[in-house]
Chains A and B, each alone.
Chain A
Amino acid sequence: DSGVTQTPKHLITATGQRVTLRCSPRSGDLSVYWYQQSLDQGLQFLIQYYNGEERAKGNILERFSAQQFPDLHSELNLSSLELGDSALYFCASNMGSSSYNEQFFGPGTRLTVL
C-alpha cells in the first residue's frame, strides 16, 4: 500500500459527460501528479501540483483540468468526454522538494466512456 488513495476505482460514463477523479496523497507529501495510461501506452504525464499551485504541465487536454485543495487532496476534472478518454488515470505523490524524489502511485481509476 503506497499510502496514496484514489476514488472511484471504476467509472463508467457516456460521451459528452463530465467526471471528477479524486486523489489523496501520502501523509506529508505536498506534491501531486496525474498520469493517463491508455491501452498499450506508457503513463502520460498530465499535470503536477505542489502545495496548491500548478507546477508542471504535460500533454493535458483543454477539456481536462485539475486542482489541489488546502488539505492537499487533488481532483482531476474531465469534461466533454470522448471514447478516446477511456483509460487508467493514476495519481502519484511525493514531497516535491526535489525533482529526483521518487513518486508513490495510487491504485488508479479506470474510466470507461461508452
Chain B
Amino acid sequence: DQQVKQNSPSLSVQEGRISILNCDYTNSMFDYFLWYKKYPAEGPTFLISISSIKDKNEDGRFTVFLNKSAKHLSLHIVPSQPGDSAVYFCAAIEPGTYKYIFGTGTRLKVLA
C-alpha cells in the first residue's frame, strides 16, 4: 500500500508559468516531508523540505505547501524554467525511524 502518492505521472507547463506538483499521504503521523528532483542518469537531489509544524516553506522559486488536514502537500515552481524539466519525488520520513517513504514521482516538462 502506497503511503505517499503522486497521482500525476507527468505534467507539462510553459516556460515562465507556474508548475504545481501534488503529493498525498495516508499516515497522519508523518511529520517531515521533502521534495527531490531527479535528472536522467543522475541520483535524486534534495530540493526543499517542510516540517509538519509549518504550512509553507519557501526557497527562491520553490515553495512547498502542507495541508495536514487533507494530508496533502504541493510544490510550486514560479516561474518555471526549461532547466526544471525533471522527475520530482515527494518523500515523507516515517516517524521514529530514519526511513524515507517516496512517492512514484511526477515528470515535469517545461516547454520553451
B residues neighboring A (CB under 8 Å): 2, 4, 6, 9, 32, 34, 36, 41-46, 49, 51, 89, 91, 93, 97-105
User: With A43-B89, A45-B101, A99-B97 known to touch, is A105 a contact of B4 (CB < 8 Å)?
Assistant: no
Interface contact B4-A90, CB-CB below 8 Å: no
The tally of CB-CB contacts under 8 A between chains A and B is 64
What distance in Å separates the Cβ of A72 from its nearest Cβ neighbour in chain B?
Answer: 16
A residues neighboring B (CB under 8 Å): 2, 4, 31, 33, 35, 40-45, 48, 50, 55-56, 58, 90, 92, 96, 99-100, 102-108
14 A-B interface contacts by CB (under 8 A): A2-B43, A42-B4, A45-B99, A45-B100, A45-B101, A48-B98, A48-B99, A90-B43, A90-B44, A96-B98, A100-B32, A103-B46, A105-B43, A108-B43
